[in-house]
A and B are shown apart, each in its own frame.
Chain A
Amino acid sequence: MKKFVCILLALFLLAALPLSCRAEEINGVDVSGFTGDYDKFKGQNITINVYNWGEYISEGSDGESLDVNQLFEELTGIHVNYLNFATNEELYAKLKAGGADYDVIFPSDYMISRMIEEDMLEKLDFSNIPNYANISDNFKNMEHDPNNEYCVPYMWGTVGIVYNTTMVEEVPDSWDALWDEQYAGQILMFSNPRDAFGIAQFKLGYSVNTTDPVEIEEAAAELRNQKPLVAAYVMDEIFDKMGGGEAALAPYYAGDAITMMEENPDLAFVVPKEGTNLFSDAMCIPKGAKNKEAAELYINFMCEGPVALANSEYIGYSSPNEAALALMDEEMRNNKIAYPDEGVLDNTEPFLNLDEESNVLMSNLWTYIISSNDNYNQLVMPAFVLGAVALSIGINVARSRRRKPK
Chain B
Amino acid sequence: MKAKSPAYPYLAWMIIFIVAPLLIVAYFAFTDKTGAFTLANISQAGQFSPVLLKSVYLAAIATVICLIIAYPLAYILSRTKVRTQRMLVMLVMLPMWMNFLLRTYAWMTILENNGILNRFFGLFGLGPFEMINTQGAVVLGMVYNYLPFMILPLYSIMEKIDGSVIEAAQDLGCSSMGVMRKVVLPLSVPGITSGITMVFVPAVSTFIISKMLGGGGNLLIGDIIDLQFLGLDYNPHLGSAISLVLMVLILLCMSIFNQFDNEEAVLL
Cβ 8 A contact of A392, one of B48, B130, B218, B259? B259
A231 to B214, CA, bound (A): 10
Indicate the member of A90, A92, A381 with the most B CB atoms within 10 Å: A381
CB–CB A395/B114 < 8 A: no
Do the beta carbons of A193 and B252 come within 8 Å of each other?
Answer: no
Give CA–CA (A359, B227) in the complex, Å: 13
CB A400 to nearest CB in B, in angstroms, measures 11
Q: Is the CB of A234 within 8 A of B51?
A: no
> In the complex, how many angstroms separate the beta carbon of A406 from the nearest chain B beta carbon?
10
Segment of B14-22, B105-113, B178-186 in the binding face: B105-113
B256 within 8 A of A: yes
Alpha-carbon gap, A237 to B215, bound state (A): 10
Cα distance A396–B50 in the bound complex, in angstroms = 28
> How distant is the Cα of A374 from the Cα of B239 in the complex, in angstroms?
23
A232 at the interface (CB under 8 A from B): yes
Query: A371 and B233 in contact (CB under 8 A), knowing A227-B217, A391-B256, A399-B259?
Result: no
How distant is B211 from chain A, measured CB to nearest CB, in Å?
A: 8
B266 within 8 A of A: yes
Q: Is B11 an interface residue (CB 8 A)?
A: no
Interface residues of B in 61-112 (CB under 8 A from A): 108-109, 112
CB of B253 within 8 Å of the partner chain:
yes
Residue B219 is within 8 A (CB to CB) of chain A in the complex: yes
With A231-B215, A232-B215, A381-B46 given, is the CB distance from A402 to B114 under 8 Å? no
Asked if A356 lies at the interface with its beta carbon under 8 angstroms from chain B, I say: yes
Contacting pair A246 B113 (CB below 8 A): yes
A14 is an interface residue with CB less than 8 A from chain B: no
CA distance A191 to B263 in the complex (A): 46
Q: How far does the alpha carbon of A381 sit from the alpha carbon of B211 in the complex, in Å?
A: 23
A389 with B252: in contact, given A240-B109, A246-B114 (CB under 8 Å)? yes
A359 CA to B231 CA, complexed, in Å: 10
State which of B130, B212, B224 has its C-beta within 8 Å of the C-beta of A367.
B224
The contact string, 1 if C-beta is below 8 Å from chain A, for chain B 233-261, is 11110000000000001001101100110
9 additional A-B residue pairs with CB within 8 Å, beyond A230-B217, A370-B218, A384-B53? A89-B230, A89-B231, A232-B216, A237-B108, A359-B232, A359-B233, A370-B217, A371-B51, A395-B259
Write the residues of chain A forming the contact surface with B, with a CB cutoff of 8 angstroms.
87, 89-90, 92-93, 96-97, 185, 191, 193-194, 227, 230-234, 237, 240-241, 244-246, 356, 359-360, 362-363, 366-367, 370-373, 376, 380-381, 384-385, 388-389, 391-392, 395-396, 399, 402-403
